[in-house]
Structure 1
Amino acid sequence: MHPFRKAVESGDMDGVAALLADDVVFTSPVAFKPYPGKAITAAILRGVSRVFEDFTYIREIANPDGGDHAFVFTATVAGKKLQGCDFLHFDEDGRIDEFTVMVRPLSAAQALSEAMGAQFEQIAREAAEQ
């Protein structure tokens, strides 16, 4: 099992943060502009872990060179079931330098947007503390 998947599935958010490159860029399924940097990305991922229920990775797809991975997942947010995918690119040191998330259907993406919006004050505070 990939170390990222293992950390997420075990709820080890410090382990997830340790896999992020300092210059990681996080692209959200519900925000227009990407979020650059390890502190904000780690804080966002902690926020997501608080709003997702029944989170499960159902498939892992890897490029043979190990630089790109796709982790397909299911979860529930505010009673809405969603499907999604984490697209990760790893730098030459094995750290995640690009992290893009996509989710469907639209109603679940909207629920995710609302739930994360409610988390954003705490996310900003956590990022500033890093």
Structure 2
Amino acid sequence: MLKGFKNFVMRGDIVTVAVGLVIALALSTLIKAFTDFVINPIITRAQGGRSMGLGWQLGKPGNRSTYLDLGSFLSAVIYFLIFMAVVYFCVVMPYKHVQARRGQVVFEEPGALKTCPACLSEDLPEAASKCLHCASDQPPAGPARTV
């Protein structure tokens, strides 16, 4: 029983996912600090005056619980965009490159799709002979048309 567990844990993809999660958590902390301590003060200053931030007070002045804080939301959007860009350019792109050198295609673009003439579903692979949704026979895929 322990040998099976050891084999499961030591599989390459499990280790890869674990390392990826650790890196993602570290990057997340770094980017969160950047948005909290660099982006948020800039957004808060954009409102000017003695405001609590970029937004509107819905209740009594100074009550943080009734403050509609658009600056924090904008900061979260910037955080998300930066985080996803870092993951894409620092994890996904190098991984695609390494796998391509090994002869494996990862994150490939989806193949061409066609529309079923019977039910009008638009997600059928070009080579499908039956519709996934209505089970109608599909015409064979012909040569590519040029316009």
When Rg is computed on C-alpha atoms for both structures, the one with the higher figure is 2
TM-score (norm 2): 0.23
Name the one with the larger strand percent: 1
TM-score (norm 1): 0.25
RCO (CA 8 Å, sep 6+): is it higher in 1 or 2? Answer: 1
Name the one with the larger helix percent: 2
